[in-house]
């Protein structure tokens, strides 16, 4: 999406969780003497630190970061809001440095920034009410199966442990009679800057090993205590997140602790696999192993 009248260049570094994209983005920003905008839909929440693998204090001190611990779980944020916010922040960085780095693994947020989002038609209120009632009565397994049948492509791409995302898929299908994953109307929006997109592409087994080790490190750092503090707010959309939702089920007595921990690892690996699939299907993104692959 490079433009002839581009005012500066944005380097987008995507990739699955635990793939090393944060360290790479910091190294890149230091080389370019610029700042980083996070495109992670969870690291922006102040109350969530351990379970979302927020960059460490020493990493944040090396390069100015935006959209890290900047909001509360009680705030209502979405990809449409992020699009406007991100473009404004990036343009401000470009005016000062000529470059900007965007890093994150939330595909919808990255898409919103890079090309804009389709305007989603309204959802029938009765459909939404019925789906939410069924979910409350029949549970997550029912919701997952309904989404898998209605929108198999979207189901593979979405966080399958996140009821809010699943309800969005199902209510769109029930309202409009077509899968949300097939809904594309708007053309790419013009951005007054050049964009170069990359994604970290580690060996699959190495990635899974890193995920398992990271979860162990989170547990040692106090993830259970952090989840317990947030437990009273477990219905908030921000907390429908791997690492927290499993502990909420454990606190509810639905899981034993050993199963809870194994599910956190399993669900994180599943999420990473879906992230990789998404990036590999994005024409704008090029796989990299190290910063040298960017070709600066």
Mean pLDDT value across residues 251-272: 97
Quick check: 82 pLDDT over 50? yes
Mean pLDDT value across residues 54-77: 97
Kindly indicate the confidence band of residue 2, based on its pLDDT and cuts at 50, 70 and 90. very low
pLDDT for the residue 7: 83
Tokens 């309204």 appear where? 122
Greatest Cα pair distance in the chain: 59
Higher pLDDT, 256 or 186: 256
**In whole angstroms, what is the distance from residue 237 CA to residue 151 CA?**
21
Write out the DSSP string of 147-188: HHHH-HHHHHHS-TT-HHHHHHHHHHHHHHSS-GGG---SPP
Mean pLDDT value across residues 116-142: 91
pLDDT for the residue 121: 86
* Total Cβ atoms within 10 A of residue 179: 17
pLDDT for the residue 186: 54
Mean pLDDT of the chain: 93
Quick check: 129 pLDDT over 80? yes
Write out the DSSP string of the chain: ---TT--SEEEEEE--TTSSHHHHHHHHHHHHT--EEE--TTTTBTT--TTTTPPPHHHHHHS-EESSS-B-TTS---HHHHHHHHHHHHHHHHHHHSEEEEE-S-HHHHHHHHH----PPPPPHHHHHHHHHHHHHH-HHHHHHHHHHH-HHHHHHS-TT-HHHHHHHHHHHHHHSS-GGG---SPPPP-SSEEEEEEE---HHHHHHHHHHHHHHHHHHTHHHHHHHHGGGTTSGGG-STTTHHHHHHHTTSS-HHHHHHHHHHHHHHHHHHHHHHHHT-TTEEEESSGGGG--
pLDDT for the residue 3: 39
**In whole angstroms, what is the distance from residue 267 CA to residue 273 CA?**
10
Quick check: 5 pLDDT over 50? no
Question: Is the CB of residue 15 less than 8 Å from the CB of residue 199?
Answer: yes
b vs e for 47-61, b when ≥16 Cβ sit within 10 Å of the residue's Cβ? bbbbbbbbbeeebee
pLDDT for the residue 296: 83
pLDDT for the residue 161: 85
Nearest to 89 by CA among 108, 62, 70: 70
pLDDT per residue as tens digits for the range 7-64 = 899 999 999 999 999 999 999 999 999 999 999 999 999 999 999 999 999 999 999 9
Mean pLDDT value across residues 115-138: 91
**In whole angstroms, what is the distance from residue 290 CA to residue 93 CA?**
24
pLDDT for the residue 6: 56
């Amino acid at each position: 999406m490079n433009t002839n009248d581009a005012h500066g260049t944005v380097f987008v570094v995507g990739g699955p969780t635990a793939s090393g994209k944060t360290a790479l983005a910091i190294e890149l920003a230091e080389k370019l003497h610029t700042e980083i905008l996070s495109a992670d839909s969870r690291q922006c929440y102040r109350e969530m630190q351990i379970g979302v693998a927020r960059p460490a204090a020493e990493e944040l001190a090396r390069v100015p970061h935006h959209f890290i611990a900047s909001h509360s779980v009680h705030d209502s944020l979405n990809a449409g809001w992020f699009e406007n916010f991100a473009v404004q922040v990036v343009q401000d960085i470009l005016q000062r440095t000529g470059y900007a780095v965007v890093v994150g693994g939330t595909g919808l947020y990255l898409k919103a920034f890079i090309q804009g989002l389709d305007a989603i038609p309204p959802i029938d209120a009765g459909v939404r009410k019925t789906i939410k009632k069924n979910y409350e009565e029949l549970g997550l397994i029912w919701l997952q199966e309904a989404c898998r049948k209605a929108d198999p492509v979207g189901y593979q791409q979405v966080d399958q442990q996140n009821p809010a995302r699943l309800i969005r898929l199902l209510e769109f299908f029930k309202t409009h009679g077509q899968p949300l994953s097939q809904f594309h109307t708007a053309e790419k929006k013009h951005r007054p800057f050049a964009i170069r997109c990359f994604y970290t592409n580690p060996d699959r087994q190495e990635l899974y090993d890193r995920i398992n080790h990271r979860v162990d490190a989170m547990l040692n750092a106090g993830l259970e205590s952090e989840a317990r503090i947030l437990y009273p707010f477990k219905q908030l959309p921000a907390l429908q997140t791997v690492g927290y939702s499993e502990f909420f089920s454990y606190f509810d007595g639905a899981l034993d602790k050993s199963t809870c921990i194994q599910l956190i690892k399993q669900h994180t690996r599943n999420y990473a696999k879906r992230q990789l699939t998404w990036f590999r299907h994005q024409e704008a993104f090029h796989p990299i192993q190290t910063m040298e692959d960017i070709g600066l």
